[in-house]
C-alpha cells in the first residue's frame, strides 16, 4: 500500500529547473547558411526503399535533404563522422540541449569526446506543426529505433526489417563488412517525420500518424564530413504500428547539394569539444 506524505502536494508543486540552460550554447549562423542554400547544385542522391535503408555521404559544408516522395513515411536517421565512425550522432545529448524534437536552427550533436554539432537543420517544411494537444511533435530524438530484439521480446518471432536491422544491413554493405561487425555502429536515431510524444497519464512513448505529405522535406547543413544511413520505417506513417509488413510504406529521397563556390569560404567546421579529458587525474 502506498501512503502519500502530508506534504505530497507541496513536493509536487516545486517548480522545475531547466537542466542545461543554453544561453552559452554556440549558435549556428543561420544567415550564412541561408545565403549558402540560395544557389545549390545537386551532387548526389539515394533512395531508401520501403522497409529498407540507404547510405549516403555528405562533405562538410554541403547540404542534404530528406524528402517524402510518394506517400506519408517516416525514416530513422543515423549519422557518423565519415572519417571516424566512433564519433556519431548522440540523440540523448541533443534531446537534453534542444528538447524532445528538433526543427530549423537546431542541431544534431556528436558523441563523447567530440560533443560538437555535426549537422544543423536549415529548413523544415513541417515546422508549422509545433506541439499538438496530445503533446506530440515531429522529428523526435526520444525514440531509439524499432528493433528485432524488442519485437522478439514483446511479440516473439524473427522480424528482419526493423529499422535497426535495415540500418545494420545498409552499413555492412557500404563498408563491405559482416553484419555482426556493422551492428555495434548502429545508434539511436533522429526519427525523421515521425510524430511522437509521451502520454500525460502514464508517461508512455506514443506515436501517431505523421503529418508528412509528398513534397515535405527536412534539410541539414553538414558541419563535418558525414556518412549517413536512413531507414524507411516498416511502420509507414506510424499511425498504427511499426515493425509491420502490413502498413503502407513509401520510399524516402535523400539528396546532397553543394553551395555556390565561394559563398561559404569564411565558414569553418566546428572543433571537437574543448574538455581536456583528464577527468581529474
Radius of gyration of the chain (CA): 20
Q: What is the reported pLDDT for 244?
A: 80
Helix (H, G, I), strand (E, B) or coil at 163: helix
Rounded CA separation 80/187 (Å)? 10
Cα torsion at 247, 248, 254, 255 (round to 10°)?
-170
The answer to whether the CB of 186 falls within 8 A of the CB of 80 is no
Rounded CA separation 126/215 (Å)? 11
User: What residues contact residue 117 under an 8 Å CB cut-off, 6+ apart?
Assistant: 26, 28, 107, 108, 109, 110, 223, 270
Q: What is the reported pLDDT for 243?
A: 77
Residue 171 CB-half CA count within 13 A: 26
The answer to whether the CB of 53 falls within 8 A of the CB of 233 is no
Residues in the chain with pLDDT values less than 70: none
Q: What is the reported pLDDT for 78?
A: 98
Rounded CA separation 100/197 (Å)? 8
Cα torsion at 33, 37, 41, 46 (round to 10°)?
80
Q: Where are the beta strands (DSSP E) in 89-133?
A: 107-109, 117-124
Rounded CA separation 190/206 (Å)? 16
Polymer length of the chain:
281
Let me know the angle formed at the C-alpha of 156 by 152 and 162, rounded to the nearest 5 degrees: 45
Closest CA to 189 of 90, 123, 118, 105: 90
The answer to whether the CB of 222 falls within 8 A of the CB of 206 is no
Rounded CA separation 125/98 (Å)? 19
Residue with the three cell numbers 500500500 = 1
Amino acid at each position: 500500500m502506498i501512503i502519500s506524505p502530508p506534504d505530497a502536494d507541496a513536493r509536487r508543486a516545486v517548480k522545475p529547473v531547466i537542466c542545461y540552460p543554453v544561453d552559452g550554447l554556440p549558435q549556428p549562423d543561420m544567415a550564412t547558411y541561408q545565403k549558402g542554400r540560395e544557389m545549390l547544385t545537386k551532387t548526389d542522391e539515394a533512395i531508401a526503399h520501403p522497409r529498407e535503408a540507404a547510405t549516403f555521404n555528405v562533405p562538410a559544408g554541403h547540404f542534404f535533404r530528406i524528402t517524402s516522395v510518394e506517400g506519408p513515411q517516416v525514416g530513422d536517421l543515423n549519422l557518423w563522422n565519415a572519417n571516424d565512425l566512433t564519433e556519431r550522432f548522440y540523440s540523448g545529448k541533443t534531446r537534453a540541449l534542444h528538447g524532445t524534437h528538433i526543427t530549423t536552427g537546431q542541431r544534431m550533436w556528436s558523441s563523447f569526446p567530440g560533443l560538437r554539432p555535426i549537422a544543423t537543420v536549415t529548413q523544415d517544411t513541417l515546422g508549422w506543426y509545433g506541439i499538438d494537444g496530445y503533446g506530440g511533435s515531429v522529428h523526435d530524438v526520444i525514440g531509439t529505433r524499432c528493433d528485432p530484439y524488442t519485437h522478439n521480446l514483446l511479440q516473439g518471432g524473427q522480424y528482419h526489417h526493423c529499422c535497426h536491422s535495415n540500418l545494420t544491413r545498409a552499413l555492412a554493405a557500404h563498408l563491405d563488412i559482416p553484419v555482426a561487425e556493422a551492428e555495434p555502429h548502429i545508434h539511436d536515431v533522429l526519427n525523421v517525420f515521425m510524430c511522437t510524444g509521451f502520454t500525460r497519464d502514464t508517461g508512455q512513448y506514443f506515436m501517431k500518424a505523421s503529418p508528412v505529405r509528398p513534397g515535405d522535406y527536412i534539410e541539414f547543413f553538414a558541419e563535418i564530413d558525414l556518412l549517413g544511413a536512413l531507414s524507411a520505417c516498416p511502420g509507414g506513417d506510424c499511425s498504427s504500428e511499426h515493425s509491420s509488413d502490413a502498413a503502407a510504406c513509401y520510399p524516402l529521397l535523400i539528396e546532397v547539394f553543394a553551395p555556390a563556390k565561394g559563398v561559404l569560404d569564411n565558414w569553418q567546421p566546428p572543433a571537437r569539444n574543448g574538455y581536456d579529458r583528464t577527468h581529474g587525474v
